[in-house]
Amino acid sequence: MSHEQFEESVPLYAVGALEKAERQVLEVHLLSGCTACHAALKSYSAVAGLLPYGLPPHAAPAELKGRIMEALPKSQTRTESSAAPVKIQEPARSWLADLLEPGGLRPSWGFNPAVSLAAVLIATGAVLYSVYLRSQVTIETGQIQRVQMMLQEENQRIAAAQQQLTAQHQELSALRDQVGLRTGEVEQLKAELASREEQVDQLQTHVAQQAGGNSDLRKALAQRDEILALLRSPDVKVVSFACLHDAKAAGGFILFDRSTQKALFYAFNMPALPPDKTYQLWAILDKPVSAGVFQPDQGQKTRGMVRGLPDPAKITKFAVSVEPSGGRLQPTGAIYLMGQL
Amino acid sequence: MAQPEASQKSSSASVTSSLLAAVAKGDQQAFAQVYDATSSILFTLALRMLGDRDEAADLLQDVYSEVWRKGTRYDPARGTPTAWLVTLTRSRGIDRLRSRAAKGGRASVALEDSPAAEQAAGDGPGPLDMYAELELRSAVAKALGELPDTQQQALELAYYEGLSHTEIADRLKQPLGTIKTRIKLGMDKLRTTLQSHWEPR
Ligand SMILES: [Zn+2]
């Protein structure tokens, strides 16, 4: 999706006419720091805020003022809320919090070449089930190796992590400036930034406390950097998912970066599945290629970073299907979400 | 009630940031001033969205109590205090419409246009603010009146009834592209005609 397309959607955003997924995609674009769209949003939101002045005026009922003044919470609650302006507690977590929260990426994420190799083996007539098992084992072995490498490199990386924290502080203040330009409905993003800032602070404390480093911290930093880098990439493409099951409000999007072959996947309102089923994400080229299996969290949301997408230039669609637990090499179950490029 | 601070401003900025900052610090008198200056436009908006005076009053109560508790959330960089209150009222109003729809109630009640006969004397905003608001009202009404009816209708369905473009297209049995274009053209035109009223000064 190009900047022009985003800018076209800004007036619709300002009057609240975008669909949820479109809104989220635009917010991602705004967060990536497009100043033209920020400026457009600011003016259109201001115009939208004038609309009620075009209505025939009605004074509020005379007794309402007294009723409201009387019902104002007294000082204890006040002090509490104004004393801690930074610790904003939102009742519901937003999609952005889900994306930026460190940790939580499922180990089953990640395109693995072993899966496509296995696909070729099927074509030569190998027994599906054994190949499937083998591919799973390969994936796990690969993961263990990766984790071991990470542990070895950790001590060297802790210094780098500290540098990243400094860089993240700079990013945060840049993001804060951008967000400061925004109006109206995107208020929540600001709260997200505040909580991210808190996360960075926490991480910093960790770094200070644990000079030897720890792999969770390192992973969390790397994940968040990866997400931020993707959000900022000029090559990023956005695909919105539509739900193919009618009357369902499920949706999502995938942001993928052709240059790094990485993608960020996010889906919401995904119903929980029985234990023997799983969702599986597919990149569809001339044939579907698995990009990972996932289960939604308790909020019916899921997110994940997909690495090593096959030839991104050839991808025409993304899809999510319901598959037997562990996933399949080709889609066998119902397609639940579909996103066209 | 004397409102020296508010009366220096023109147009929609009848509530100043410093007044809102005082509210955030727990100043009841400042809160009363904010109420006086904004309750009329917010009630107008609430009534248009909900179509029911009692429910509109409840919505205002929610909004003002949120302002009282979370006045610190207001950020001057994002627009005038009044614009913030309008946005807050609209989004809480949409919440109410959605929960009403979820309970199976019908979504919207279109109100008859009625003159401003209900303008109560006494507690209303001071004369200068009133004049500025009248000026703004007439500018917005004129600008809206210059839009084709179809554009006005699409904007109203989105803004007051919380419908997405797809829902508007369904409701009006028009292609999606047509609806998007109407909204976009309408907003573009308003942005131009009302420039002197929304541009930060
Ligand atoms: Zn843009």
Instruction: Note whether A12 and A129 are same-domain residues.
Output: yes
Residues whose CB is less than 8 angstroms from the CB of residue A48 and which lie 6 or more positions away in sequence, other chains included: A14, A15, A16, A184, B159, B187
Main-chain dihedrals φ then ψ at residue A75, nearest 5 degrees: -60, -30
Expressed as residue numbers, the domain containing B45 is 10-107
pLDDT band at B25 (very low <50, low <70, confident <90, very high): confident
Q: Which residue's structure tokens are 């780098």? A: A160
Q: In the listed set B46, B72, B107, which residue is the last one of a domain according to the structure?
A: B107
In-domain check, residue B114: no
In-domain check, residue B98: yes
Query: Is the Cβ–Cβ distance between A323 and A278 less than 8 Å?
Result: yes
Write down the ipTM of this complex.
0.86
Residues whose CB is less than 8 angstroms from the CB of residue A287 and which lie 6 or more positions away in sequence, other chains included: A330
Q: In the listed set B74, B107, B140, which residue is the last one of a domain according to the structure?
A: B107
Instruction: Note whether B95 and B131 are same-domain residues.
Output: no
Higher-scoring residue by pLDDT: A120, B154: B154
Cα distance between the two ends of chain B = 27
The pTM assigned to this predicted structure is: 0.54
Per-residue model confidence as pLDDT tens for chain A (341 residues): 678 888 999 999 999 999 988 998 898 888 888 889 999 999 999 999 999 999 999 999 999 999 999 988 764 444 444 433 333 333 333 444 444 444 333 333 444 444 444 444 444 443 444 444 444 444 455 555 565 566 566 656 656 666 766 676 676 666 656 555 444 435 555 566 666 666 666 666 666 665 455 566 666 667 666 776 776 666 777 777 777 765 456 777 787 777 788 887 878 778 888 878 888 888 888 888 888 887 887 777 777 777 777 777 788 888 888 888 878 888 888 888 888 77
In-domain check, residue B121: no
- Arithmetic mean of pLDDT, B33-54: 94
Q: In the listed set A115, A149, A183, which residue is the last one of a domain according to the structure?
A: A149
For B52, the token pair is: 């029911």
In-domain check, residue A205: no
Whether B140 sits inside 8 A of A56 (CB atoms) is no
Instruction: Provide the 8-state DSSP code for A109.
Output: B
Supply the angle between the helices A128-180 and A215-232 in degrees, to the nearest 10.
70
Residue from B63, B53, B56 nearest B85 by CA: B63
Residues whose CB is less than 8 angstroms from the CB of residue B32 and which lie 6 or more positions away in sequence, other chains included: A65, A69, B1
In-domain check, residue A287: yes
Q: What is the CATH number of the domain that holds B133?
A: 1.10.10.10
Q: What is the pLDDT of residue A172?
A: 66
Q: How many CA atoms lie within 13 A of A58 on its CB side?
A: 21
In-domain check, residue A101: yes
Instruction: Note whether A25 and A143 are same-domain residues.
Output: yes
Instruction: Note whether A7 and A139 are same-domain residues.
Output: yes
Q: Select the residue of B35, B41, B53 nearest A65 (Cβ to Cβ).
A: B35
Helices (H) and strands (E) in chain B, counts: 10, 0
Q: Is B94 part of the contact surface with chain A (CB cutoff 8 Å)?
A: yes
Instruction: Note whether B99 and B169 are same-domain residues.
Output: no
Q: What is the CATH number of the domain that holds A300?
A: 2.60.40
Instruction: Note whether B17 and B100 are same-domain residues.
Output: yes
Instruction: Note whether B25 and B67 are same-domain residues.
Output: yes
In-domain check, residue B70: yes
Cβ neighbours of B199 in A, within 8 Å: 43, 46
Q: Select the residue of A17, A62, A81 nearest B164 (Cβ to Cβ).
A: A17
Q: In the listed set B48, B74, B107, which residue is the last one of a domain according to the structure?
A: B107
Instruction: Note whether B87 and B160 are same-domain residues.
Output: no
Instruction: Note whether A109 and A238 are same-domain residues.
Output: no
Q: In the listed set A149, A184, A206, which residue is the last one of a domain according to the structure?
A: A149
In-domain check, residue A195: no
Q: What is the pLDDT of residue A37?
A: 92
Q: Which of A4, A10, A30, A50 to mutate to test the interface with B (most CBs of B within 10 A)?
A: A50
In-domain check, residue B1: no
Separation of alpha carbons B89 and B62, rounded Å: 9
Instruction: Note whether B174 and B144 are same-domain residues.
Output: yes
Instruction: Note whether B81 and B130 are same-domain residues.
Output: no
Main-chain dihedrals φ then ψ at residue A150, nearest 5 degrees: -60, -40
In-domain check, residue B24: yes
Query: Is the Cβ–Cβ distance between A41 and A182 less than 8 Å?
Result: yes
**Number of domain units in chain A:** 2
Separation of alpha carbons A244 and A231, rounded Å: 27
Q: Which of A15, A18, A38 to mutate to test the interface with B (most CBs of B within 10 A)?
A: A15
**Number of domain units in chain B:** 2
In-domain check, residue A106: yes
Q: What is the CATH number of the domain that holds B27?
A: 1.10.1740.10
In-domain check, residue B117: no
Instruction: Note whether A251 and A130 are same-domain residues.
Output: no
Separation of alpha carbons A50 and A14, rounded Å: 12
Q: In the listed set A149, A181, A210, which residue is the last one of a domain according to the structure?
A: A149
In-domain check, residue A107: yes
Expressed as residue numbers, the domain containing A7 is 3-50+70-149
- Beta-carbon neighbours within 5 Å of ion ligand 1: A 3, 6, 34, 37
Instruction: Note whether A239 and A115 are same-domain residues.
Output: no
Cβ neighbours of B181 in A, within 8 Å: none
